[in-house]
Structure 1
Amino acid sequence: MTAVLFDFSGTLFRVESARTWLRTVLGEAGVTLPESEFDETARALERAGALPGGAPPEAVPAELAEVWELRDQSSAQHRAAFTGLSRQVPLPDPALHDALYERHMAPAAWTPYPDAAEVLRTLHERGVAVGIVSNIGWDLRPVFRAHGLDRYVRAYVLSYEHRIRKPDPRLFALACAELNADPAEVLMVGDDRRADGGAAALGCAVHFVHHLPAAERPDGLRPVLDLAG
Structure 2
Amino acid sequence: MTTIKGVLFDFSGTLLRIEPAESWLRAALTACGVAMDDAEITRRATELERAGALPGGALPAELPAELVAQWELRDCDARHHRAVYTGLARRVPLPRPELYDALYERHRTAEAWRPYPDAAEVLAELRRRGVRVGVLSNIGWDLRPVLRAHGLERYVDGCVLSFEQGVQKPDPRLFALACRELGLAPSAVLMVGDDRRADGGATAIGCGFLPVDPLPVDRRPDGLRPVLDLVG
Q: TM-score, normalised by structure 1?
A: 0.99
Residue 33 of structure 1 deviates from its aligned partner by: 1.3
1:104 aligned partner: 107
2:139 aligned partner: 136
1:1-23 Cα offsets, whole Å, 9 max, x none, are 11000000000000000000001
2:93 aligned partner: 90
1:151-183 Cα offsets, whole Å, 9 max, x none, are 110110000011111001110100110111011
SS of the residue corresponding to residue 43 of structure 1 reads helix
| 1:27 corresponds to 2:27 | no
Task: Among all aligned residue pairs of Structure 1 and Structure 2, give the percentage whose two residues are the same amino acid.
Answer: 64
Q: Take 2:40 and 2:217, find their aligned partners in 1: how far apart are those partners?
A: 27
1:174 to 174, 177, 186: 177
Give every structure 1 segment of 4 or more consecutive aligned residues whose post-TM-superposition deviation is greater than 2 Å: none
Residue 67 of structure 1 aligns with an amino acid whose one-letter code is Q
Gaps of 5+ in 1: none
Residue 50 of structure 2 aligns with an amino acid whose one-letter code is R
SS of the residue corresponding to residue 62 of structure 2 reads coil
Gaps of 5+ in 2: none
Q: Take 1:179 and 1:26, find their aligned partners in 2: how far apart are those partners?
A: 41
Residue 112 of structure 1 aligns with an amino acid whose one-letter code is P
Residue 203 of structure 1 deviates from its aligned partner by: 0.3
Residue 221 of structure 2 aligns with an amino acid whose one-letter code is P
1:107-145 Cα offsets, whole Å, 9 max, x none, are 111010000000000000100000011000000000010
1:225 aligned partner: 228
1:124 aligned partner: 127
| 1:210 corresponds to 2:213 | yes
Residue 138 of structure 2 aligns with an amino acid whose one-letter code is N
Kept after mapping to 1: 8 A contact 2:31/2:102: no
SS of the residue corresponding to residue 132 of structure 1 reads strand
Residue 25 of structure 1 deviates from its aligned partner by: 1.0
| 1:18 corresponds to 2:25 | no
Residue 227 of structure 1 aligns with an amino acid whose one-letter code is L
1:183 aligned partner: 186
Residue 23 of structure 1 aligns with an amino acid whose one-letter code is R
1:196 aligned partner: 199
1:63-102 Cα offsets, whole Å, 9 max, x none, are 1111111100110000000000000001000110000000
Q: Take 1:196 and 1:44, find their aligned partners in 2: how far apart are those partners?
A: 28
1:77 to 57, 62, 80: 80
Q: TM-score, normalised by structure 2?
A: 0.97
Residue 194 of structure 1 aligns with an amino acid whose one-letter code is R
SS of the residue corresponding to residue 56 of structure 1 reads coil
Q: Take 2:146 and 2:42, find their aligned partners in 1: how far apart are those partners?
A: 28
User: What root-mean-square deviation, in Å, do the aligned CA atoms of Structure 1 and Structure 2 show?
Assistant: 0.6
Residue 34 of structure 1 deviates from its aligned partner by: 2.2
2:164 to 161, 166, 169: 161
1:59-70 paired onto structure 2 within 5 Å: 59-70=62-73
Q: Take 2:178 and 2:38, find their aligned partners in 1: how far apart are those partners?
A: 46
